[in-house]
Amino acid sequence: MNEITPTSAERAERLQGLGCKRKRVEDIRFVQGKGNYVDDLRLPGMIFGDFVRSPYGHARIKKIDATKAKAVPGVIAILTAADLKPLSLHYMPTLAGDVQAVLAEEKVLFQNQEVAFVIAETREAAADAVELVEVEYESLPVIVDPFKSMAADAPVLREDIKDKTDGAHGKRKHYNHIFEWDVGDREGTDVAFKKAEVTIKELISYQRVHPCPLETCQCVASFDKIKGELTVWGTFQAPHVIRTVASLISKIPEHKIHVIAPDIGGGFGNKVGAYPGYICSVVASIVTGRPVKWVEDRIENLSSTAFARDYHMTTEIAATKDGRVTGLRVHVLADHGAFDACADPTKWPAGFVNIVTGSYDFPVAHIGVDGVYTNKAPGGVAYRCSFRVTEAAYCIERAMDILAQKLGMDPAELRMKNFIRREQFPYQSALGWEYDSGDYHTAMKKAMDTVGYTKLREEQKDRQAAFKRGETRELMGIGVAFFTEIVGAGPSRNCDILGIAMFDSCEIRIHPTGAVIARMGTKSQGQGHETTYAQILATELGIPADDIAVEEGNTDTAPYGLGTYGSRSTPVAGAATAMAARKIRAKAQMIAAHLLEVSEYDVEWDIDRFRVKGIPERFKTMKEIAWAAYNRVPPGMEPGLEAVNYYDPPNMTFPFGAYICIVDVDVDTGQTKVRRFYALDDCGTRINPMIIEGQVHGGLTEAFAIAMGQEIRYDETGNITGPSLMDYFLPTAVETPKWETDWTTTPSPHHPIGAKGVGESPNVGGVPCFANAVNDAFKFLGSTHISMPHDNWRTWTVAEKLGLHG
């Protein structure tokens, strides 16, 4: 080797492949204000749509009079259910097997439900006309408490299906019942509880929240009457699914529908589903022959599209006196609002909530879920988590703390005692999952050592004594949470959306100069896919990441995929990326051997080239091979260097982590200060540590928001209270704690590069960690469970009830 020959290390570094803190390619446009979001789009002749919405939570529509509204200058048309009904578009199918009203026909079922769609030349004219549409209502009794949904005398909410005894997921027990779902060994669990030395039982409720991305849901629909083609630009986390659904609903052939998701300003689950705004915009464009833009405002966003959680989990653990868990029993009452529009894989009406055994070796467990209708907005999306996994993690992590309290054990010690051991992986859980890999004890120990856990507990004891002596008004809480996520949906044997298996895809084309374009079935909403997929490809193909363009979101050009949510991009599309690249490398190997005039078995891969075994100076770089693919392929071989892979994952991936949080609670103001938050994540192989850290920061901040303040509340008459940023808690830089991040690496054994996904872990682990910290502060005073959100008022109220205000 002479001086000018780059070393292997230099060649590898030049690729900016796996494991490197590559700066994001997306940022160049974003920092200059040159992102391309839906609302930035302006088409010639474009007009605007806006909704008339219900002021009532439950009411009969007596009359809609749009005469005055139609007289507003610039108003083109006003759509109501009566216009959509002849087209069979007044209802749309939901992902959960229910239907949802696009425009309310006879009744409204939640406040701010869509009643009419005004189409006008300008957004201002549309807004003016919305005010002038006169709707006469007769108000009806309202259900906002899910525990009252199935009362014998409860009002009928869904008249359209009231006599249907079979729902999409089996028998319905009541006219306001949606489904019953249960998993596990009911009798075996009952036996475990009968034999148990110690049991705990607690109703653990996870409040209704909303993902609230900074950009709301929006679209532009444009129907070309001459070609009979529809183009829809929209904030879609799953553009291909939207196209298929649009085709099934509209009967426009799928190849004549073009769905384009441009840059998306955050999704967090809000932008998975289909909403009435999309359907109305499409209809409006077909009717008027002009492009129609619909943009939600913030109040519409928080009150009508995609709530999350609203799970009420009655949780019981059976255990031995020395703290070994012997059984878990959970019953969930799931409030789905007025329509079952949950965005779960079709066969999973309660998502993957059966991950509720968490990180612990429960010999037996049972979970039952009842979904019910209420007069609240539909949704039930996975807000920065895999399907219902934050609910499960919050449930088990609170319950383990409550058990520790009852046993008089340290919560970390109880967890260590019951963790699934490293040698038990792949591990079959009592509720049906096969966990791929894990090393929980190592992660927990590292977390405890780093924060100085034992010393913190000593300090807490001293402070509790000082509090009792009246020397301080602050309580110290230490929150411990250990979560196991289940992400990467999913294997075709059990995961589909409306019959389409939840694979994902990557198509790679290598051009003659060695430049690459890769197209994906997923869609970034800020995760940095253009940067990280290129890193996987760089390592697999030996081509610098800077020479690889990654494109997503255009259904005309991208291979079919199920989109980005549930941390599935890395586990599924990331795997497809590696597998497609490996097809290319196999062909490249044959071309290289041909060029080097040796057998393909006599060449070997070396970072960015194939070389002749034993003669490293005889090689062909991938760049040379790319050129040859277009002019000197072996006889009989097709020219070109392209591949596509549709990856059907053999299993989910199971990222995990150990989080520890220290808070100080002022009992007189209810204010909780986060002193320290340490997050150790194990997401398997790490693709870009900078982006992983950014994802963890962001997920923890959303966890902080949920645990400490977010709640979508309804009053007893069905009014949604506070659906704007005046009331809905989005933390600023001032409240947001500082985050300490750490990691262990336990690769997934079934993923081509061992990666597991990370974007949602911090939300899943963060929420119970904060909740456990606040609860931990109060537990020495006899408190067992305080519900979220832990805002100042609620915390002050707890202190008041405990008699701490003298």
Interface residue list for another protein (CB under 8 A): 23-24, 26-35, 37, 39-40, 42, 123-124, 212-216, 263-266, 268, 295, 297-298, 525-528, 690-691, 693-695, 697-698, 700-702, 724-726, 730, 732-734, 736, 738-740
**What's the one-letter identity of residue 464?**
Q
Least distance (Å) from another protein to the CB of residue 702?
A: 7
Residue 502 or 705 with smaller CB distance to another protein: 705
Sign of CA dihedral 35, 245, 577, 490: positive
Comparing CB distances to another protein, the nearer of 610 and 677 is 677
Choosing from 384, 415, 568, 585, which is the catalytic residue?
384
CA distances to 110, 321, 439, 483, 703 from 444, in Å? 45, 23, 9, 11, 20
Shortest distance in whole angstroms from residue 717 CB to another protein: 24
Q: Choose between 7 and 732: whose C-beta lies nearer to another protein.
A: 732
- Taking the complex as a whole, the smallest distance from the CB of residue 590 to another protein amounts, in Å, to 40
Residue with tokens 């701010």: 112
Q: Which of 20, 506, 760, 794 is catalytic?
A: 760
Task: Say how many C-beta atoms besides its own lie within 10 A of residue 806's C-beta.
Answer: 5
Structure tokens at 192: 């475990």
d(CA 33, CA 364): 54
Are the C-beta atoms of residues 338 and 376 closer than 8 Å to each other? yes
**Cα–Cα distance measured from residue 705 to residue 725, given in angstroms and rounded to the nearest whole number:** 13
Q: Which runs of consecutive H residues, i.e. helices, occur in 173-275? A: 186-195, 239-250
Question: Which residue lies nearer to another protein by CB, 299 or 407?
Answer: 299
Amino acid at 737: P
Q: How far is CA 342 from the centre of its chain?
A: 12
Q: How far is the CB of 234 from another protein (least distance, A)?
A: 15
Distance of CA 672 to the CA centre of its chain: 27
- Check if 385 is active-site: yes
Q: Compute the C-alpha angle 760/386/545, nearest 5°.
A: 55
Q: How far is the CB of 728 from another protein (least distance, A)?
A: 9
Nearer to another protein, 551 or 604 (CB): 551
State the sign of the Cα–Cα–Cα–Cα dihedral 156, 157, 161, 164: negative
CB of 586 vs another protein, minimal distance in Å: 35
Selecting among 385, 395, 495, 683, the annotated active-site residue is 385
Q: Which is nearer to another protein, 29 or 201 (CB)?
A: 29
In terms of CB distance, is 298 or 618 closer to another protein? Answer: 298
Angle formed at CA 743 by CA 739 and CA 747, multiple of 5 degrees: 145
Which residue has 């607690």 as its token pair? 202
Q: Which residue number, 580 or 680, has a Cβ lying nearer to another protein?
A: 680
Give SS3 for 240. helix
Which residue number, 152 or 734, has a Cβ lying nearer to another protein? 734
- Find out whether 336 and 179 touch, Cβ atoms under 8 Å: no
| Bridge partners, residue 328, by sequence | 317, 365
User: What is the nearest approach in angstroms of another protein to the Cβ of residue 163?
Assistant: 43
Strand, helix or coil at 439? coil
Nearest to another protein of 40, 145 (CB atom): 40
User: Minimum Å distance from CB 431 to another protein?
Assistant: 32
Q: Is 111 a catalytic residue?
A: no
- Torsion sign, CA atoms 518, 524, 530, 534: negative
| Active-site position among 16, 113, 218, 237 | 237
| Rounded CA separation 134/769 (Å) | 49
Classified as helix, coil or strand, 253 is: coil
Give the C-alpha separation, 236 to 494, whole Å.
24
The least CB distance from residue 307 to another protein, in Å, is 16
Q: Give the DSSP H/E element, type plus range, for residue 454.
A: helix 453-468
**In the complex, minimum distance from the CB of residue 610 to another protein, in angstroms, rounded to a whole number:** 35
DSSP secondary structure letters along 60-75: EEEEEE-HHHHTSTTE
- Measured distance CA(27)–CA(622) in Å, rounded: 28
Decide if 429 contacts 361 (C-beta within 8 A). no
11 by Cβ neighbours in 10 Å (0-12 / 13-18 / 19+) ranks as middle
Catalytic center residues: 237, 384-385, 760
